[in-house]
Amino acid sequence: MQYPPRLGFGTWQAPPTVVQKAVETALRTGYRYIDCAHVYENENEVGQAFEAVFNDPSSGIKREDVWITSKLWNTYHRPEKVKEQCLKTLKDLKLKYLDLFLIHWPLPFAFRSGTDLFPRDENKNILLDNVSLQDTWRAMEKLVDEGLVKHIGVSNYTVPLIVDILSYCRIKPLVNQIEVHPWLPNDATIKFCLEKGIGITAYSPMGGSYEGRMLISEDETVSEIARKKGISPQQVVLAWHLKKWDSPMYNIIPKSSTPSRVVENFECLKVDLTDEEMKAINGITKHMRMCSPIIFWGIPLFD
């Protein structure tokens, strides 16, 4: 089974005006895996980067050299809507196929219009839809049959949901994309998925950002190791992932809209942490989740 490359590139919160340059920089730097999503509202501009690079013979990069993932948004869980969003994503990204298409969240939201991605009632509660994850998965499987996507997977699935999908799937999820960083190591879920042959994509691998601040870079342990090695705290954290889960089934998708950081983060592949450094970073865990559906939508998926 082929999994995505170990180091990928994220595009969430990359404004449409800058994402094209960021993705082009990523591809020309050596990243061969780009993580996208309909809800990031920048797939059209990401697609412009793909077009620019794949149509430029001097880049030496062809479509088939790059792993491209996108995701089904919560308002498109109804089986008849699954293909509609997949086709929209393909059109925006200017692609004939996706390498991987994920159910973004195990949370079906009501569809009201193509632009209302977070439907709420008059009391500001998110409007859920009554469509089962099994029905959505069946429609995802059809996309593979039709050749629109090579693989399908899930994101933000808890262990009980993984157990459930394994009971009914015809095509097993290739990966579960979940939040992982030193402050939220998620060891039990990762181990469970890997044992079941489901790969892991670690999102917010550097701890993400909160109100514009990168919190993990302010951690003393990480900063001290970075200072000693003469590298950035972000490179330390990314190298920690790759050493801790040294498997082709585990990959990371750091994001930056800043070209110099895009290049800097790629250099994590050259960083080797000592056992003592790994132990020290393993010790900073504090169960701090950056992507919290209870904060976003008042839905206690994890807590």
Neighbours of 300 (CB within 10 A): 9
Closest approach of Cβ 58 to ligand NAP, in Å?
27
Give the C-alpha separation, 280 to 275, whole Å. Answer: 9
Choose, by CB under 6 A, the member of 214, 231, 263, 284 that binds ligand NAP.
214
Choose, by CB under 6 A, the member of 173, 199, 205, 293 that binds ligand NAP.
205
The 3-state DSSP class for residue 226 equals helix
Closest approach of Cβ 265 to ligand NAP, in Å?
5
Q: Is 10 in the site for ligand NAP (CB under 6 A)?
A: yes
Q: Is 258 in the site for ligand NAP (CB under 6 A)?
A: yes
Residue 104 annotated as binding site: yes
Residue in the structure block whose two tokens are 């050299």: 65
Interacting residues with ligand NAP between 24 and 43 (CB under 6 A): 35
Own/partner contacts of 156-159, CB < 8 Å, gap of 24 or more, are: 156/104, 156/105, 156/106, 156/291, 156/293, 156/301, 157/103, 157/106, 158/106, 158/189, 158/301, 158/302, 159/188, 159/189, 159/192
Q: Is 176 in the site for ligand NAP (CB under 6 A)?
A: no
The 3-state DSSP class for residue 110 equals coil
Buried b (16+ CB within 10 A) or exposed e, 157-170: beeebbebbeeebe
**How do beta strands 98-103 and 9-10 pair?**
unpaired
Give the C-alpha separation, 179 to 32, whole Å. Answer: 21
How many residues interact with ligand NAP (rule CB under 6 A)?
29
Judged by CB under 6 A, the stretch of 10-18, 127-135, 242-250, 267-275 that binds ligand NAP is 10-18
Choose, by CB under 6 A, the member of 128, 261, 299, 302 that binds ligand NAP.
261
Closest approach of Cβ 57 to ligand NAP, in Å?
28
Binding-site members for substrate are 104
Residues of this chain that interact with ligand NAP (CB under 6 A) are 10-13, 35, 104, 155-156, 177, 203-209, 214, 232, 234, 253-258, 261, 264-265, 291
